[in-house]
Amino acid sequence: MPQQTKQMMQPKATIKALNASWYKVKASSSKNAEVWLYDEIGGWGITARAFANEIKALGDIKHIDLRIHSPGGDVFEGMAIYNLLKNHPATIHVHIDGLAASMGSVIAMAGDVIHIPENAMMMIHKPWGIQGGDADQMRQYADLLDKVESTLISAYLNKSGKSEEEIKTLLKAETWYTGAEAVAAGFADELTSKLEVAAQLKSNREYENMPEAVKKFFEPQASAPQKPANQPAAAAPSAAVIDPPPAPAAPVAADPVNIDLAAIKAQLQADESARRAAIKSAFGSFAESHAELLSECVLDMSVTAAAAKDRLLAALGSGTTPTTQSFVHAGNGNLIGDSVRASIEARAGLAAAEKDNAFTGMTLAELARASLHERGVNVSGHSRMDIVGLAFTHSTSDFGHLLADVAHKSMLKGYEEAEEVFTQFTSKGQLSDFRESHRVDLSTFPGLDLVPEGAEYKYGTVGDHGEKIALATYGKLFSITRQAIINDDLSALTRIPRLMGRAAIRTVGDLVFAVLTGNPKMSDGKVLFHADHNNLAAAADLSIDSISAAMTAMRLQKDQNAVLNIRPKTLLTSVANEPRAKALLLAEFDPLMADSKVPNPIRNMLEVVSDARLDEANVKANFMLADAGLYDTIEVAYLDGNDKPYIEQQEGFTVDGAAFKVRIDAGVAPLSHRTMVKMPTK
C-alpha cells in the first residue's frame, strides 16, 4: 500500500482503556446467540476480524439477537461487521436498545427484522474525515469518501426500499429518527414499547444536528482531553462526525509550524505508548515465559496488538503434536479468561483438559486469585474470602461471567439429556411477544370447487375457529457464594444448573400434559374432548377393538362436509398401560384368536409413548394423536423460537457471591380437536 494511502486511511481515535470492550457475544443455546454492540465501533474496541472469529466459534447457529446501543465509529470496521452479519445464514433480529447512529445504524441494516423502542433513536449521515496534503491528495481523499458513501447507501437502500437520491438527501442532512419515524421511513420493521436505557456511552462524538433527547445517552465529557488544534495528521473516513476543538479566542504568537510539530509528536508518542500497552496486555501471564518474543513485538512499531497475539499463539503451538481433537478459544483476545474458563470446564467434565493451559488443576479460589492477578490487581495482604469477593466485583475481572458460562453449559446439558416425550406428538412454534395470539386450525380446508370456463374462482376459508395461545415466563434463581468458591464446590456450577435445565424442560412438559388431563375449553365453547367433537371414545379396556374404534373416529373427522382422513400416529398411555399397549400393537396375530392365526389388523400402526404424569394424575384414559408434523395437535410456542432456557447473571449483587437466573418463555395450547382422541378405560 502506498504511504500516501496509508496516511489517508490512518484512524484518528481517542485512546481508551485497553480493557474496554464494546461488545459481547453469548450463546443462549446450541442454535441461538445474543450479540451486544454497546459502544463505539473500531478504534480501541474489538476488530472486525476478532468479531468474525467469535461468530465463527459459535458454530451452526440458526438465530442471532443483535442488540445495538452505539454512536457509530470506524466505517471500514463497521462495513466488515455489516457484511459478516448480512451473509450469515442465521436469522438476525436487531434490537436498538437506545441509539443506533452512523455506523451503528448501518450494522442494524443487516437484520432480517429490526425492532426499535418508541424512545430509541437512529441517525444516518455522510462519511466524514480529515486530510492534509496537496491538491492531488485532497482530491484522492474526496474520491475515497465518495466510495465509502456508496457502500452506506447500498445498505440503507436494501433495507428501506428508498431510491438512491432519497438516501443521498437524507445522508447529507444528517437525519435523526425517533423509533416511530424510523419504522415509517422503512429503516426499522417493528415499533416496541419504551425501554429504560441504563447504559451511557463513553464517546467524544458530537453531531451537528444532535437532538437534546440523544444527549442522555452519552456520559459527560468535561474531563475528556482536547485534540490539538490545527492538527494536519490524516484521519480515516469515519461514519461518525467528530467536531474539531474550538478555536482559540486570540491568535497565538508562537510559530504555527512548531505548534503543529509538537502536537504531532505528542500524538505519535501517545499512540506508541498505547500500542505497547496493548501488546503487553495481550501477552498476559505469558510475558515472562516468552519475554524475547514480547520484546521483539514491542520494539517493532509495525506490529499491532492483534499481530502480537497471533505471534504468541503461534509460539505456544510450536513443537506440539497435533491430536484428533482441536481446542478453539472463542474469545476477543482474552487469553486469560479463555484459559480460566477452559480449566473450570475440564474439571466439570464439560470439555477435555488442555495440556498447555497454565491454569489446569487450579481450585476455584486459586482461579479467582489468578483472574485478578493477571489483570494487574494487587491482592497481596488480602484473605481468601476478600480475594474471592474482589474477583466477583472488580471492574477488570470477568470471573463471575466465566462461572456463568460454565453454569450455562451445565444447564443446557441437563435440559438436553432429560427424557421428555412431549416433543414426539407436539409441534414447536414461536411468538414475538407476550400478547395473546390466535391460531387457526390449518388441518382443515374445504374441497376445491368446479370452475366453469370463464367463471370466477371463489374464496375458501381455512378452519372455522381460532384457538388462543400466549407466552408466560418460568424461572428460578440460584447463587454461587464465596464460601462455595473457597470450598471448591463444583456442584454449584454443575449439578445445580444441570438440575435447573431438567426442571426447565420438565416445566414445559407439565404444561403439555395439563392440556390433555385438564381438558380445556376450545374456541367453540366446548371442552377439547367432547362427544360433539367426535373425539371422546366409550370407556373400554385397552384392546384391538378399542384402538381400532379410536383410529376410525379420527379418520372420519369432518370439516363441514369434507372427510379429512387424518391418520393417527401416536398412542399415549400411562406407564402402567404401556406393556399392554405394546403387546397389542406388536402382536402378529389377534390375541383373542391366536389359535386360529388371524392377523392382527393394527400391528405396528401406532407408536406407543408413555409418561408417568398420567399415572400421577390417576388419569384412567389413553390418548391417540396425529402426526404433529402434518396436522395441528398441540403447539408448544417459545419466545422468538428460543426453545432452550436462558441463564443470566444478576446485576448489582454484593461481594457475597453471584446470583444467577434461569428462565424460559413458553406457551402451550391445543390447536384442533380433530387430531386427538381420548380413550377412557374402565
Q: What are the tens digits of pLDDT across the range 116-132?
A: 998 888 999 887 655 55
What is the 8-class DSSP label of residue 679? E
Q: Which of 156-160, 603-607, 660-664 has the lowest mean pLDDT?
A: 660-664
pLDDT tens-digit readout, 512-546: 999 999 999 988 889 999 999 999 999 998 999 99
Confidence of residue 555 (pLDDT cuts 50, 70, 90): very high
pLDDT tens-digit readout, 197-218: 545 555 555 556 666 666 656 5
Residue 164, pLDDT above cutoff 60 = yes
- Apex CA 241: angle with CA 237 and CA 245, to 5°? 110
Concatenated DSSP letters for 32-66? EEEEEE-S-BSTTS--HHHHHHHHHHT-S-SEEEE
**Residue 280 has what pLDDT?**
82
Q: Are 170 and 124 in contact (CB under 8 A)?
A: yes
Residue 425 amino acid letter: F
**Residue 306 has what pLDDT?**
85
372 compared with 599, residue with greater pLDDT: 599
Spatial neighbors of 240 by CB under 8 A, at least 6 apart, are 40, 71, 72, 73, 101, 102, 103, 128, 205, 207
User: What's the rounded mean pLDDT across residues 541-568?
Assistant: 89
Q: What percent of the chain lies above the pLDDT cut of 70?
A: 69
Cell of 238: 469515519
Confidence of residue 379 (pLDDT cuts 50, 70, 90): low
Confidence of residue 234 (pLDDT cuts 50, 70, 90): very low
Considering the chain, what is the average pLDDT of its residues?
A: 75
Q: Residue 352: name the closest of 362, 342, 339, 361 by CA.
A: 342
User: What's the rounded mean pLDDT across residues 604-631?
Assistant: 91
**Other Cβ atoms closer than 10 A to 49:** 13
Distance CA 545, CA 26 (A): 54
Query: φ, ψ for residue 222 (rounded to 5)?
Result: -60, -30
Residue 111, pLDDT above cutoff 70 = yes
Q: Are 678 and 536 in contact (CB under 8 A)?
A: yes
Q: Which of 160-174, 390-404, 421-435, 440-454 has the lowest mean pLDDT?
A: 390-404
Spatial neighbors of 596 by CB under 8 A, at least 6 apart, are none
**Residue 231 has what pLDDT?**
40
Distance CA 51, CA 28 (A): 17
Residue 550, pLDDT above cutoff 90 = yes
Q: Are 100 and 183 in contact (CB under 8 A)?
A: no
**Other Cβ atoms closer than 10 A to 360:** 14
- Where in the sequence numbering do the catalytic residues fall? 102, 125
Query: φ, ψ for residue 466 (rounded to 5)?
Result: -115, 115
* Reported pTM: 0.46
Spatial neighbors of 251 by CB under 8 A, at least 6 apart, are none
Q: Residue 200: name the closest of 69, 34, 334 by CA.
A: 69
Confidence of residue 183 (pLDDT cuts 50, 70, 90): very high
User: What's the rounded mean pLDDT across residues 23-48?
Assistant: 70
Q: What percent of the chain lies above the pLDDT cut of 90?
A: 20
Instruction: Label the pairing between strands 646-649 and 657-670.
Output: antiparallel
**Residue 471 has what pLDDT?**
81
pLDDT tens-digit readout, 308-358: 888 887 777 665 444 333 333 333 345 666 777 777 777 767 777 776 676
The continuous run of DSSP H or E covering 185 comes out as helix 179-185
Residue 399, pLDDT above cutoff 80 = no
**Residue 653 has what pLDDT?**
46
450 compared with 369, residue with greater pLDDT: 450
**Residue 448 has what pLDDT?**
75
Distance CA 107, CA 317 (A): 35
**Residue 460 has what pLDDT?**
65
**Residue 47 has what pLDDT?**
65
Q: Which residue has the cell 372455522?
A: 464
Concatenated DSSP letters for 402-416? HHHHHHHHHHHHHHH
Residue 579, pLDDT above cutoff 60 = yes
Residue 13, pLDDT above cutoff 80 = no
**Residue 70 has what pLDDT?**
85
